[in-house]
Structure 1
Amino acid sequence: MTQFLAEEFKNAFSADHIIMFVRLIGAAIFGGLIGFEREIHRHPAGLRTHILVSMAAALFVLVAIEVPEIMRSDRDVLRVDPTRVVQSITEGVAFLAAGIVFLQKGTVKGLTTGAGLWFSGAIGLTIGLGLWSLGIFASMLGLVVLFVLRRLEINTNLSKRKSLSDEAQE
């Protein structure tokens, strides 16, 4: 029994596994950046949710990358289509994100948070594949969209309200 366990874990901390661990940490960090913006604005899916979605996407793609290696003795039987893994992750995260969106008093709520979850999944998938520069750039661009464009929306809405108020007083 001990020998079986030793065999099972002998390569658990190989260079390949360390790379996978670092990719999971990267997915947590960069997916978490999107969640941080949602958190500070008190939206339902915040920091922890975005981190978990991003890490889950990265983990799914890492497992998909490793399946051919694990099953190398069954090469004739095993066919891996990486696009199916991407499709499955996309659908799963989209389903989760759709659950955030709701209608309240005739107004759609949670749409940006749902999109943020979907985006965090994409970041996790990208970093899980080892496409670091793309994942980091996408994260930074996502933060620009969330922070900078939020300010623009707030300023635009304030301008509209002021002009409507001015018209009502005339």
Structure 2
Amino acid sequence: METEISLFDMFTRLGVAAGLALVLGLERELRGKPAGLRSHMLVALGAAAFLIVGLDILFSTAEGDPSARIDPTRIVQGVVGGIGFLGAGSIIHSGTSVHGITTGASIWLAGAIGVSAGVHNFALAGMITLMALVIMSVLGAIERLFPDHRGSD
């Protein structure tokens, strides 16, 4: 199958997506949260894969009928919506407390990492990962120092 994206480049994009999402998943795993390493890696891998498939379709239809071309931003829209649904599923409302919001947000960010890696923007994927890790671990530790901190997520 002839494609504009080489097999090595596809593997690299998928590997970067999964590898960077591993960092977020590890943070959640170390905190004992239900969505950890595998969940975050699979979300990012899937997001990157959908983008690569969409770009492949875009490239393959570029020389043919222009009306048959796809809009890659619609793929991003679908991926973001689907991942938002997964993230929302990790949020639990029990009585007057809510748990899992940070995990839901990190799942959503894993999708952003995957989308970034899928379009070969490794710098953006790395920045998202680094900033998310700082927010989740460093700011999380600061947040736990406040006496009225109620939750563990």
TM over 0.5: yes
Structure 2 partner of 1:167: none
Q: Which runs of 5+ in 1 are unaligned?
A: 1-7, 162-170
For residue 58 of structure 1, give the secondary structure of its aligned residue in structure 2: helix
Q: In 2, are the aligned partners of 1:35 and 1:48 still within 8 Å (CA)? A: yes
How far does the alpha carbon of each residue in 1:82-121 deviate from its partner, in whole angstroms, 9 at most, with x for none? 1111101100000111111111231011110000000000
Q: Which runs of 5+ in 2 are unaligned?
A: none
1:18 equivalenced with 2:12 (yes/no): no
1:96 equivalenced with 2:89 (yes/no): no
**Aligned with 1:144 (options 134, 139, 145):** 134
Moved over 6 A (4+): none
1:134 equivalenced with 2:113 (yes/no): no
RMSD over aligned Cα atoms: 1.9
Give 1:39 deviation, angstroms. 0.4
More divergent stretch after superposition (65-74 vs 147-156):
65-74
Q: Which of structures 1 and 2 has the bigger CA Rg?
A: 1
Q: In 2, are the aligned partners of 1:34 and 1:139 still within 8 Å (CA)? A: yes
Q: Distance between the aligned counterparts of 1:154 and 1:76, measured in 2?
A: 55
Structure 2 partner of 1:115: 105
How far does the alpha carbon of each residue in 1:16-74 deviate from its partner, in whole angstroms, 9 at most, with x for none? 11101011000001011111100000101111000000000000000000013344564
1:35 equivalenced with 2:25 (yes/no): yes
Structure 2 partner of 1:164: none
For residue 120 of structure 2, give the secondary structure of its aligned residue in structure 1: coil
Structure 2 partner of 1:53: 43
- With the length of structure 2 as denominator, give the TM-score of the two structures: 0.89
Question: Aligned residues, how many?
Answer: 149
Question: Structure 1's 126 and 109: CA in aligned 2 closer, same or farther, altered over 3 A?
Answer: same
Give 1:137 deviation, angstroms. 1.1
Structure 2 partner of 1:87: 77
In the alignment, residue 127 of structure 1 is paired with which amino acid?
Answer: A
How far does the alpha carbon of each residue in 1:113-140 deviate from its partner, in whole angstroms, 9 at most, with x for none? 0000000000000011000111101101
Matched ranges for 1:146-165 at <5 A? 146-157=136-147, 160=148
Percent identity among equivalent residues? 35
Give 1:155 deviation, angstroms. 0.8
- With the length of structure 1 as denominator, give the TM-score of the two structures: 0.81
**Aligned with 1:63 (options 53, 58, 66):** 53
In the alignment, residue 68 of structure 1 is paired with which amino acid?
Answer: L
